[in-house]
């Protein structure tokens, strides 16, 4: 196994702030890394990560993709829906959701996304100093998902408030009673949407899923929860990463403000991958790098490390909008490949287009006040204090 001196604890704040040096050491010194205290094995090379994601018979999702032991296990499907399932159930649910979550439905969202982006960008830019993470990057994706579900605009702020606890959940700490209450009330709220759409269908995703008839009410509520974690928080971190790394790299920022928005989104996904890793359960004893990993072991597949693999991306630690990002695995691979990739990319493009249209490129960030999540799975910023000039 090697790499006896490599220590990787994804919950350590310093590691979480910048995990890339330890990922690089794992790729070279411990491509199969074992953390016995936290009970996981990690794969970090691009080739191993790609192979692991596509071999779902060897690496099961039935305990969910979360690294946190409290959130994984056979119960994971109750709040993580089909991302915590294997075939044939996964195939059945994914097919039903894909029938409703069509490219046409996603493309049709663009004007609405632009409006939501403006609604949050304009007041922030008027103030001049604001928190990019809280005031823009966290709000736009949640409101887009609310719109997708058919939540009326007047109720969006309530959904944001209640989902706060879910998104600020810190596995290293305890969730407050208030947080638990918020999540339960969100579950009740989602159930009421499903019941309402069953009685009076509209032109929204939930109505389409109800009409399809394949999913039970519990299936639908679990799916709506999954959308918040999988679709909102990840997109928040994509936006923060793009905003922050462009600020740190003025030449790249000039290219971004010069119109290279698509490349800005793609390189940000690669460089500071929001879905840093996914966990799996090993279905049989398996040998990697001369070590046999036992059946049922928890395997942590480090997507963010694969995206910095020097054998695939030249100068991987350089943020470069001109590079080829075709081999980045930011949305996963195989059966569980992200269903929301086109929506995330669309949101990224629209928000960055709107920002570059109304803000001068010489914005400023107070680095001393940046705060990051410590989830393990999803990495990104929850506070990004910014000052802009119109
Ligand atoms: C699955 C990343 C945005 C919905 C995944 C997976 C990754 C990922 C890596 C695979 C999980 C696994 O293999 O266990 C991302 C990133 C996003 C993003 C980086 C934003 C930058 C979205 C959005 C939505 C979404 C906007 C929907 C609104 C889903 C769903 C799955 C999924 C439903 C489960 C697919 C399955 O299990 O078959 N995402 N995602 N994601 N994502 Fe995303």
Instruction: Please give the ipTM for the structure prediction.
Output: 0.99
Q: Which residues line ligand 1 (CB under 6 A)?
A: 61, 65, 82-83, 94, 145, 226-227, 230-231, 234-235, 238, 274-275, 278, 303, 330-332, 336, 338-340, 343-344
The contacts of residue 300 (CB under 8 Å, 6+ apart) are 10, 40, 41, 42, 43, 67, 277, 279
Give the integer Cα–Cα distance in Å for 380 and 274.
6
Atom of ligand 1 nearest to the CA of 329: 9
Architecture of the domain made up of 13-387: Orthogonal Bundle (1.10)
The contacts of residue 326 (CB under 8 Å, 6+ apart) are none
Task: Count CB atoms within 10 A of the CB of residue 95.
Answer: 12
Atom of ligand 1 nearest to the CA of 82: 37
Atom of ligand 1 nearest to the CA of 332: 9
Cα 223 to ligand 1 centre (Å): 12
The CB-side HSE value for 248 (13 A sphere, CA atoms) comes to: 15
- The rounded Cα 294 to chain-centroid distance in angstroms is 29
pLDDT in tens, the chain (390 residues): 445 689 999 989 899 999 999 999 999 999 999 999 999 999 999 999 999 999 999 999 999 999 887 777 777 787 789 999 999 999 999 999 998 888 888 999 999 999 999 999 999 999 999 999 999 999 999 999 998 888 888 998 888 887 776 655 555 445 566 666 777 788 889 999 999 999 999 988 899 999 988 899 989 998 988 888 788 999 999 999 999 999 999 999 999 999 999 999 999 999 999 999 999 999 999 999 999 999 999 999 999 999 999 999 999 999 999 999 999 999 999 999 999 999 999 999 999 999 999 999 999 999 999 999 877 789 999 999 999 987
Give the integer Cα–Cα distance in Å for 324 and 319.
12
Atom of ligand 1 nearest to the CA of 145: 28
Of 338, 344, 352, the residue with max ligand 1 atoms within 8 A of its CB, to mutate for a pocket test, comes to 338
Of 142, 340, 377, the residue with max ligand 1 atoms within 8 A of its CB, to mutate for a pocket test, comes to 340
Cα 227 to ligand 1 centre (Å): 8
Identify which of 46, 33, 36, 44 has the alpha carbon closest to the alpha carbon of residue 3: 33
Q: Evaluate whether 326 touches 65 at the Cβ level (below 8 Å).
A: no
Identify which of 26, 20, 24 has the alpha carbon closest to the alpha carbon of residue 1: 26
Atom of ligand 1 nearest to the CA of 278: 14
Give the integer Cα–Cα distance in Å for 38 and 322.
39
- Helix, strand, or coil (residue 293): strand
What percentage of the chain's residues is helix, strand, coil (to nearest 5)? 55, 10, 35
Which pair of tokens denotes residue 177?
């009673």
Q: Model-level pTM? A: 0.95
Cα 133 to ligand 1 centre (Å): 20
């Amino acid at each position: 196994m090697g790499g006896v001196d490599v220590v990787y604890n994804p919950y350590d704040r310093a590691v979480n702030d910048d995990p890339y040096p330890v990922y690089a050491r794992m790729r070279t010194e411990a491509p199969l890394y074992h953390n016995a205290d936290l009970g996981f094995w990690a794969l970090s090379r691009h080739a191993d990560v790609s192979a692991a994601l596509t071999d779902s018979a060897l690496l099961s999702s039935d305990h969910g993709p979360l690294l946190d032991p409290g959130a994984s296990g056979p119960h994971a499907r109750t709040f993580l829906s089909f991302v915590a399932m294997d075939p044939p159930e996964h195939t059945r649910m994914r097919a039903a959701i894909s029938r409703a979550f069509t490219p046409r439905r996603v493309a049709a969202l663009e004007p609405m996304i632009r409006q939501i982006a403006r609604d949050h960008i304009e007041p922030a830019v008027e103030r001049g100093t604001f928190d990019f993470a809280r005031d823009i990057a966290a709000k736009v994706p949640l409101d887009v998902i609310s719109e997708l579900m058919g939540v009326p605009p007047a109720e969006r702020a309530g959904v944001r408030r209640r989902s706060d606890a879910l998104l600020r959940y810190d596995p290293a700490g305890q969730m407050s009673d208030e947080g638990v209450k918020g999540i339960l009330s969100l579950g009740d709220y989602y159930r009421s949407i499903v019941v309402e759409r069953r009685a009076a269908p509209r032109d929204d995703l939930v109505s389409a899923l109800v009409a399809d008839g394949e999913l039970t009410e519990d299936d639908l509520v679990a799916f709506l929860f999954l959308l918040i974690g999988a679709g909102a928080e990840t997109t928040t971190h994509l936006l923060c990463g793009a905003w922050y790394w462009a600020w740190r790299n003025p030449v790249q920022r000039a290219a971004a403000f010069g119109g290279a928005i698509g490349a800005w989104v793609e390189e940000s996904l690669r460089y500071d991958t929001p879905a840093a890793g996914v966990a799996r359960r090993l279905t049989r004893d398996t040998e990697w790098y001369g070590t046999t990993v036992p059946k049922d072991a928890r395997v942590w597949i480090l997507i963010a490390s694969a995206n910095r693999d020097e054998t695939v991306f030249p100068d991987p630690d350089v943020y470069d909008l001109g590079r080829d990002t075709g081999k980045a695995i930011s949305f996963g691979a195989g059966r569980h490949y992200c269903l929301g990739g086109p929506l995330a990319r669309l949101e990224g493009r629209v928000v960055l287009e709107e920002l570059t249209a109304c803000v001068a490129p010489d914005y400023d960030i107070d680095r001393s006040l940046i705060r990051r999540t410590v989830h393990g799975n999803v990495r990104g910023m929850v506070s990004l204090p910014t000052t802009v000039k119109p």
